[in-house]
Structure 1
Amino acid sequence: MNSLSGKTIFLTGSGGVLGTTYVRRMLDAGAKVVASELKGARYDGLHDTFGKNENFALYEMDVSDEDAVTETFNRFLGDGHKPNVFFNNASITGEMLMKDGAEFPDFANTTLASWNKTLDVNLTGPFLVAREIDRQIIGKWDLKLINIASMYALRAPHHDIYDGMPFKNFSAYQATKAGVHGITLWLASYWRKKATVNTLAPGAVFNGHSEEFQKRVSSLIMQDRMAQPDEIADVALFLSSNAANHMTGQFINVDGGYNAW
């Protein structure tokens, strides 16, 4: 296990299956975690699970809201937190945009509103967080930024594995995750003497998927299975640690070999 003793980690979108795993593993590795999440069930779950840990702090933040990002930075810095690792983890998927019981649209019926909402969260959000780092923190202490993309960021999906499934591969999701790595490359160069910036690209992570979907997606993965959340967290901890000090501008797939085929 990579020790994160002495690290303070700021993490957006902390309440999902990967976010909560990152928080748990970071705390276990000795880090202080400053988490953010939208107000609601995920926020409440984080509070209930980690709220009594003295090394955990939780803030409400909408990453797509410019004023909210600035205000949250002002709050946690004012509270004395000095993160030296930042995770742009907040993300929205196509299925998260669908109301309960609604049919997932095909490409022709994708609404501009759903496209724009995905860009707001998945692409504008990381920009706003990075810009606030640049305004308030960069150059004051060494730091790392890890942007979370996807195994689909740089490779086309196999649309047929979604046939008959209640969800599809959403065009805006792929476009934004490719854009996330563009932000990584730009910032890695811009902050080259002040920070490291890398992209972590999780593969297909099991989260209650049907046996049929597991079978379909696993056939495209060299290891013939979906990832467990802790397997993604293993690499997140490495990138947060001093062991990754000489890595910047990199795209790191954790996908069981999906992108190697």
Structure 2
Amino acid sequence: MKRLAELMSLRGRRALITGGMGHIATAMAETLAEMGADLVLVDLDQARLDVLSERLTTSHGVDILPIRCDLEDEGDRFAAVAAVKADGATLDILINNAAFVGTSGLQGWAEPFDGQSLATWRRALEVNLTAVFHLSQAFTPLLKASGHGTIINIGSIYGEVGPDWALYADTTMANPAAYGVSKAGVLQFTRWLATTVAPDIRVNAISPGGVARDQPEKFVSRYRERTPLRRMATEDDFRGAIAYLASDMSAYVTGQVLRVDGGWGVW
């Protein structure tokens, strides 16, 4: 029987995280580096990627490859794939975390349903769903060859349930259709891919609940009341989930969606 420390160790493995500068992604990168994994961090901001990479290398002694990539751009995605393959190293873990969340100032996004635009819908699906398909397909040969291949997709509770609009009353917050629909697609792609690339690669998803990010107090108060654990998530809440799914602790787990939502989805 293997010791728990052996099952948890990621020494000699490499993980790629898209949206690498996001709040949850940074927590995941810290977690996997602490477990010994080398990392490929993909995001738009090269300068911030370089800073994070240097910090993780210094604190954990792992190798980091930072890659600037606009996941909305197919050419950028192809270039990122080529950059990962160029050094001849393995890829053992792919974490499709990046998401198009828009801003309140983006035309056709934070609008009532009749004001949500086709152009913004297409942009969201390109990043949130098409890029997940593209990178999973492109890295499948490397993941199969690794002997420990695993894909972890980051979904959302809004890929599983509809929004409770009472939470948003009297705020400027939004819940666009494209976000929930694209995340639902990610979760179904997880199940589809799990049976398609087995037994060589495991494919699972994490479905986060709402994360505390300085939202209006009235929203936060309503959200807490709606959630069995009576709070919003923090980034640390996702560290255990990613450690479990990325490592051999979940070696017999595939095709699953792990909700990290404080119980939101059990109502």
- Distance, in Å, in 1 between the alignment partners of 2:229 and 2:139 is 38
- Distance, in Å, in 1 between the alignment partners of 2:162 and 2:107 is 28
Q: How does 1:51-200 map to 2 (within 5 A)?
A: 51=54, 53=57, 54-93=62-101, 96-99=102-105, 104-134=110-140, 136-142=141-147, 143-200=149-206
Change (3 A) 1:123 1:98: same
Equivalent position of 2:243 in the other structure: 237
2:227 is equivalent to residue 217 of structure 1: no
Pairwise CA distance, 1:62: 2.0
**Aligned pairs, number:** 255
Change (3 A) 1:102 1:191: closer
Per mean C-alpha deviation after superposition, the further-off stretch among 177-186 and 102-111 is 102-111
Equivalent position of 2:10 in the other structure: 4
Tell me the SS of whatever aligns to 1:87. strand
Q: Which 5+ residue runs of structure 2 have no aligned equivalent? A: none
Equivalent position of 2:51 in the other structure: 48
User: Larger helix proportion, structure 1 or 2?
Assistant: 2
- Distance, in Å, in 1 between the alignment partners of 2:183 and 2:204 is 13
219, 239, 258: which is aligned to 1:252? Answer: 258
Q: Is contact 1:10–1:85 with CA below 8 Å preserved after alignment?
A: yes
Q: Which 5+ residue runs of structure 1 have no aligned equivalent? A: none
TM-score (norm: length of structure 2): 0.89
Pairwise CA distance, 1:51: 2.4
Percent of aligned pairs with the same residue? 27
- Distance, in Å, in 2 between the alignment partners of 1:177 and 1:85 is 20
Q: Is contact 2:19–2:98 with CA below 8 Å preserved after alignment?
A: yes
Q: What is the CA deviation profile of residues 77-133 of structure 1, one whole-angstrom value per residue up to 9, with x for unaligned ones? A: 21233120100001011xx24438999311111011111111111010101101102
Pairwise CA distance, 1:24: 1.6
Equivalent residue letter for 2:70: D
Q: What is the CA deviation profile of residues 197-230 of structure 1, one whole-angstrom value per residue up to 9, with x for unaligned ones? A: 0111111111222322211111111000001101
Q: What is the CA deviation profile of residues 8-57 of structure 1, one whole-angstrom value per residue up to 9, with x for unaligned ones? A: 1011111111111111222122111111001x3xx422322332515221
- Distance, in Å, in 2 between the alignment partners of 1:170 and 1:103 is 6
Pairwise CA distance, 1:5: 2.3
- Distance, in Å, in 2 between the alignment partners of 1:102 and 1:185 is 31
- Distance, in Å, in 2 between the alignment partners of 1:165 and 1:55 is 43
Equivalent position of 2:42 in the other structure: 36
